[in-house]
Structure 1
Amino acid sequence: MPEEPDPRTPPAGEQLDLLPELARARAEAAEQTERTRAKDQARGPDPAPERPVARVLVDVPLAHLDKPFDYLVTADLHDQAVPGCRVKVRFAGQEVGGFLLERVAESDHPGRLAPLRKVVSPEPVLHPEVARLSLLVAERYAGTRSDVLRLAIPPRHARVEKEERRPAADPAAPLDPSPLWEHYPPGLLEGLREGRSPRAVWSVLPGDDPMRGLADAVAATVASGRGALLCVPDHRDLARADAALGEVLGVGRHVVLSADLGPAARYRAFLALSRGDVRVAVGTRAAAYAPVHDLGLVTLWDDGDDLFAEPRAPYPHTREVLLVRAHEAGAGALLAATSRSVEAAVLVETGWAHDLTAHRDLRRSLAPRVSVTGATDKEVERDPFARTTRLPTSAHRAIAEGLAHGPVLVQTPRSGYAPALVCSTCRTPARCAHCQGPLEQPRSQADLTCRWCGTEVPEHRCPVCGQGSLRAVVLGERRTAEELGRSFPGTTVRRSSADRVLDEVEDAPVLVVATPGAEPPARGGYTTVVLLDTWLVLARPDLRTEEEALRRWANAAALARPAGEGGHVVLVGDPALPVVQALVRWDPAGFAGRTAQERREAHLPPGARMAVLTGSPDDLADALGRLRLPPGADVLGPVPDQDGAERVVVRVPRRAGPALSEALRAVSGVRAARKLPPVRVQVDPWSLG
């Protein structure tokens, strides 16, 4: 039986008539959907309910882009996009990383803001004070903030962020300050403990433990409820500082920041500081940017060590970073060293820091006896070969006498110094009369030329002895240990250098040959310390030659026993040199002050500010043409540099230093915007040879 048709279904003919109406309805619906989608796209994603504008510092090391850019914080990222976190954004057609500096209600940008692409982690790793510090350091060294932040913030380690937080250790009563502080003027520890922010330059006496003294200063700061930061040059000093802080503060109350820890351990220590679980940090260069909460003290051991000069752009020096940070935070500052840098001497002279030096009589009683031997008339009368021998008879005798009572240290310069020209009579380094730069002879029979300003010197006279003849010194590592082993048969000879550094030497008759910076301490101190080839160190073609020589000699001499216990330091060199007399009198502070005055008179750092520009001849000429120099500026050069490049030194009065840095940043920005090859810029380089 056939089915009856559904009365609701139109007849077949009428169905065909309805097809155009259905098609038209569907087209209108699709059009409406497209209009809605276009409207939504034009309107953009829903903004965050509060402060929907994020100011982001993108990780792009181009000078003309070194500024924050505004992005939209969407509603779904409202809780994650916190100031200081890492984000991903769309920039110049690419997805790049960056740091969210702050969130604000409105933007000055006239167009529609691009949204944040992603919050990499809601962990705030860039704190406002460190962000401010990165700006000041970039301005000081004519660099970019992204380069500074790469030095300041370690790479993210996701697994470490997810670890359970360890509760902060309860504050413990620190140990009583070491008796060594009785040797110095009072007031530093008391001021830190009472919440004040004293600033001092500390000349450490031989025999005193500087790491224990710095730990006492940190403990006094912690007792006032504030945080502290300690920077040291290398891993050996780091191990000693870590042990001293652990002894004084207790276990778990400080962290170590060093690249040698590995990515996970370093990031874990960084997060402990960032989250406020720990308020004390010790580390090497990068620790200067550590996010210590309530910073009350910055400390630095041996600021004259060249390891504090950052080899990566923008080439900041750790001392300058810490001083800027102390000024911004209103924190105390303590620079400690056996010797004294010229920059530290200027801080004392200007009153920015006070001098923490023991009384002269106490210095003489605690320091070892220092004697000078070498090519003096009296030495030549006793030993006709004293002018040519590396180890005069008196130094040989001092080693033999020292070995009869304990260990003996012999310091010999490390290898790798560049050839230099010195007076053939008195071995004074040959320098330019115009700018005090080192002289060189590019080829045989050619006139002398200054390495800094390129001035040719047809005739040179030594300013000390008046002689005109020069000699080249070839500076290299000597087989000192083998020579001494043959001179003292049956004696144990141990070597300590960069490739293998001894940690400590027993209190026994042993002969230690070490390069500067690798001298191991001896239990009870060395009976004798011999400083060899001092003329060779003083021949280095560098602005800091004498300052660095005294620092190396003093650090080695400080390992000797006091004079009252038979400690003896023998320097093989010229006793008439002021730097040698500074060691004999144990007066590094006085020598640094006199050197600072001489540099001011010669318009050299720190009495002046300098910048070194290096690049191809065409790029260098273009950069100099765009550079708006402040009044009183001198341009020295160009002179040839490595790989066909040229180098120019720009010198300005100290007060014009900020203007020079600003002008250099402007030139770098213009060249970057025009996609021209970069010109390397180093402001106040540590070494200028």
Structure 2
Amino acid sequence: MSSENGRDPGERGEQLALIRETVRKAKAPRAKPRTWRGAALAGELPVARVLVDKGPVHLDKLWDYAVPAEMDAEARPGVRVRVRFGAGTGKVREGRREGGGLLDGYIVERIAESDYRGPLAALAQVVSPEPVLSPPLLALCRAVAERYAGSLADVLQLAIPPRNAKAEAERFPAPPPPPAVPALASWTRYPEGPAFLEALAKGGAPRAVWTALPGPHWPWELAAAVAAALASGRGALVVMPDGRSAARVDAALTELVGSGLHTVLVADSGPEERYRRWLAIRRGAVRAVVGTRAAMYAPVADLGLVALWDDGNSSHSDTNAPHPHARDVLLLRAVHEKAACLLGDLGRTVEAAQLVENGWARPLEATREQVRAAAPLIRTVDEVEAARDEAARAARLPSLAWQTARAGLQRGPVLVQVPRRGYVPRLACERCREPARCRHCAGPLEARSNDSALCCGWCGQQAPDWRCVDCGSTRLRARIVGARRTAEELGLAFPGVPVRTSGRDHILDTVPARPALVVSTPGAEPVADGGYTAALLLDGWALLGRPDLRAGEEALRRWLGAASLVRGQEEGGTVAVIAEPTLRPVQALVRWDPAGHAVRELAERAELGFPPVSRMASVTGRIEDVGALLGAAELPEGAEVLGPVPIPVPDPGRPRRPGDPPPGEEWQRALVRVRPGQGAALAAALKAAHAARLVRREGEQVRVRIDPPDLG
């Protein structure tokens, strides 16, 4: 039915109602200015929603605060503020008020009205007008907190460095223009390499798992990928496992594109310089970042590439709650910000192999001919060697090692990798093989030099008159030989040859091309000018015999890192690995086939239901608290609870480590396993149950960790 003028009666009625509402508002008395304790509030958007910098998951909410008029201009979203947190202040969306006093926080947004009907406390102070929490960074930190069942405040503490007023006062110049598209250089050694760089330079977002060839070229190849992203007018972010590797990429990138386009974020820079560089990134003064783990949150504008080197390195897993891994954070950034992704390594982790297997990324690797040309010759104690030397398989330094070292020293430096640092870090009774322990704290006794007294590795007390408590013997034998003892033995065997050590206490960056023995622990190997002529990989049993799901993968990763510093087979480079030659990691090293090893490991994990095929979480605490949390959690359908099992009580006197139970308490740990695709639901269920227990103040502390690195 229609009216006389052709309009629908319902539409005409809506127009009349709108006119009446407009007239009513015009005649209504004007509202009085809003105040708080006599002080005027901001005229527009007088309510700030604040994320309070307090870590417990049950306080992981946004709180509403009134904005005083004098703070209106500076209280913008993203700035740091201080707020009164306690009874009668703020408002939590769900839950109850906790705590008291002034706390730091961030304004997330400004709104016109709060749905909390009680009085709102006002912001106490705007700490700085610098908007450090941008919407993309907030979204990333939320995603990380949800994935790892942690609080947003904990993630922000990892993502945003502490403020420095002096750095904020500095003015930064505009960034230089984008560089030209870099030359392909050594990327031509990989069949898909040129296509990857061309896609980056044209503004694309390719995803690749890159198995780099051994040798000195990978820092320049990584720098070329960054330069290609910069050439497209976008930013780039590269996360390295340590400052030494970051310095190598920094030098390569400076050589390739010059200075001014990128910066380095490492802990060694110091708080003020680190914050200054972080501000330069946030304000757009630099477009590319090379750094260590914390750099994964760097607020790079218009991000075009995220790259991670050596994703199997344990330093990429944060030791602070909620323990995010750099690989997962960068994968989230690649998805959220539609950026290209490059996971590079000399080897390949099982997680990277899964990304290739499910099609998320493409493999970027060289042909077998290129691998054979670049890799050194790998030798093991085979059947022929065992026939000549009956003790070859059991000896720490069989004749193969001596021959390899002697031949290599005729042409240049020789690398010796030892899994343990120190002199003799573990001793035992020669007669009964009982470990030698300190009488004071029961810690392990060790020898720090040939002529020093025995010393406890925990409390430091000396034990000059040690006697075995089981058999009464006073004679000791070495259970584990460290790097310094190895260096001493090699120095005696090769008189006149310089012996240098590199380890945690003193790490060498480079060594000259002169003949020398360089004894190093894994990860501390210096780079030799022109490459090492040979390498000895000792004590393979110590790496392969660890009771850990990743023991074989980790051993291969460390061996590849050392062997890649040796000259290629065409230049006479040789590596001798002292380990059982029939084991899979040893055979993967001999063939230089880390990708094949990762694929086979992934297949076994899938058959057994281990990560990364499944998702796991650990719940640790007292047995009754673990049971209560798991009983209250709404776990995904089909979730499997393994355990709980007791956690070994630390020996008295041993220094406490992260994850140790409080003194005097016996903790247990349960593992929760779910099918692929249920990881988000598992994290949400455990976080909700944990928060509910904290709100009700039930039981004692329980620790929840998603994707625990140690399943032993």
Q: TM-score, normalised by structure 2?
A: 0.81
The aligned runs of 1:563-582 (5 Å cut-off) are 563-582=569-588
Match status 1:318 vs 2:323: no
1:549 counterpart residue number:
555
**1: CA distance, partners of 2:512 / 2:567:** 14
**2: CA distance, partners of 1:140 / 1:172:** 35
The one-letter amino acid paired with 1:683 is I
Of residues 129, 142, 152, the one that matches 1:145 is 152
Match status 1:349 vs 2:372: no
2:105 counterpart residue number:
98
The aligned runs of 1:126-205 (5 Å cut-off) are 126-163=133-170, 165-171=171-177, 173-174=179-180, 176-177=182-183, 179-184=185-190, 185=192, 186-205=194-213
Structure 1 residue 39, shift from structure 2 partner = 11
Structure 1 residue 256, shift from structure 2 partner = 1.5
Relative to structure 1, the CA distance from residue 474 to residue 660 in structure 2 (aligned partners, 3 Å threshold; closer, same or farther) is: farther
Deviation string, structure 1 residues 328-386 (Cα, Å, up to 9, x no partner): 0000111111011111111111111111001111111111111111xx54333201222
Structure 1 residue 53, shift from structure 2 partner = 2.2
2:343 counterpart residue number:
335
2:305 counterpart residue number:
297
SS of match in other structure, 1:70: strand
Larger displacement relative to structure 2 (166-175 or 62-71): 166-175
1:638 counterpart residue number:
644
Q: Which runs of 5+ in 1 are unaligned?
A: 1-37, 420-472
**2: CA distance, partners of 1:221 / 1:138:** 29
Relative to structure 1, the CA distance from residue 474 to residue 108 in structure 2 (aligned partners, 3 Å threshold; closer, same or farther) is: farther
Larger displacement relative to structure 2 (52-61 or 350-359): 52-61
Q: Is the 8 A contact 1:178 1:212 kept in 2?
A: no
**2: CA distance, partners of 1:98 / 1:475:** 50
Q: Is the 8 A contact 1:175 1:248 kept in 2?
A: no
The one-letter amino acid paired with 1:226 is R
1:668 counterpart residue number:
690
Q: Is the 8 A contact 2:175 2:284 kept in 1?
A: no
**2: CA distance, partners of 1:523 / 1:387:** 33
**1: CA distance, partners of 2:583 / 2:667:** 37
Deviation string, structure 1 residues 134-160 (Cα, Å, up to 9, x no partner): 111011011001000000000111122
2:498 counterpart residue number:
492
Match status 1:583 vs 2:577: no
Instruction: State the aligned residue count.
Output: 596
Of residues 105, 108, 117, the one that matches 1:110 is 117
Deviation string, structure 1 residues 246-266 (Cα, Å, up to 9, x no partner): 222211221211222111101
Structure 1 residue 628, shift from structure 2 partner = 2.2
SS of match in other structure, 1:106: coil
1:426 counterpart residue number:
none
Q: Is the 8 A contact 1:203 1:357 kept in 2?
A: yes
2:263 counterpart residue number:
255
2:226 counterpart residue number:
218
Larger displacement relative to structure 2 (226-235 or 621-630): 621-630
Structure 1 residue 167, shift from structure 2 partner = 0.9
Larger displacement relative to structure 2 (638-647 or 217-226): 638-647
Deviation string, structure 1 residues 568-608 (Cα, Å, up to 9, x no partner): 11111222112111111111011111111110111001011
**2: CA distance, partners of 1:651 / 1:557:** 37
**2: CA distance, partners of 1:306 / 1:548:** 10
1:26 counterpart residue number:
none
2:78 counterpart residue number:
84
Structure 1 residue 175, shift from structure 2 partner = 7.5
1:58 counterpart residue number:
52
The aligned runs of 1:650-689 (5 Å cut-off) are 650-676=672-698, 677-689=700-712
Relative to structure 1, the CA distance from residue 39 to residue 409 in structure 2 (aligned partners, 3 Å threshold; closer, same or farther) is: closer
SS of match in other structure, 1:138: helix
**2: CA distance, partners of 1:395 / 1:42:** 79
**2: CA distance, partners of 1:566 / 1:178:** 28
Q: Is the 8 A contact 2:49 2:62 kept in 1?
A: yes
**2: CA distance, partners of 1:332 / 1:108:** 41
Of residues 30, 33, 43, the one that matches 1:49 is 43
1:284 counterpart residue number:
292
**1: CA distance, partners of 2:34 / 2:646:** 61
2:473 counterpart residue number:
none
Deviation string, structure 1 residues 189-212 (Cα, Å, up to 9, x no partner): 111111111111111101242221
Larger displacement relative to structure 2 (193-202 or 237-246): 237-246
Of residues 618, 626, 647, the one that matches 2:669 is 647
Q: Is the 8 A contact 1:668 1:678 kept in 2?
A: no
Of residues 229, 234, 237, the one that matches 1:229 is 237
The one-letter amino acid paired with 2:253 is L
Deviation string, structure 1 residues 545-582 (Cα, Å, up to 9, x no partner): 11111110011111111111101111112221121111
Q: Is the 8 A contact 2:178 2:232 kept in 1?
A: no
Q: Is the 8 A contact 1:415 1:475 kept in 2?
A: no
1:370 counterpart residue number:
378
Structure 1 residue 223, shift from structure 2 partner = 1.1
Deviation string, structure 1 residues 228-247 (Cα, Å, up to 9, x no partner): 11110111112112212222
The one-letter amino acid paired with 2:393 is R
In our comparison, the structure showing a higher alpha carbon Rg is 1
**1: CA distance, partners of 2:204 / 2:412:** 45
Q: Is the 8 A contact 1:167 1:277 kept in 2?
A: yes
The one-letter amino acid paired with 1:89 is V
Q: Is the 8 A contact 1:531 1:553 kept in 2?
A: yes
**2: CA distance, partners of 1:300 / 1:408:** 29
The aligned runs of 1:395-414 (5 Å cut-off) are 395-414=401-420
Deviation string, structure 1 residues 637-676 (Cα, Å, up to 9, x no partner): 2222234222112111122211110111012101221234
Q: Is the 8 A contact 2:216 2:565 kept in 1?
A: no
The one-letter amino acid paired with 2:306 is V
**1: CA distance, partners of 2:528 / 2:184:** 21
Root-mean-square deviation (CA), in Å? 2.1
The one-letter amino acid paired with 1:477 is G
SS of match in other structure, 1:327: helix
The one-letter amino acid paired with 2:691 is G
Q: Which runs of 5+ in 2 are unaligned?
A: 1-31, 87-99, 427-477, 650-660
Match status 1:617 vs 2:623: yes
The one-letter amino acid paired with 1:171 is P
The one-letter amino acid paired with 1:74 is P
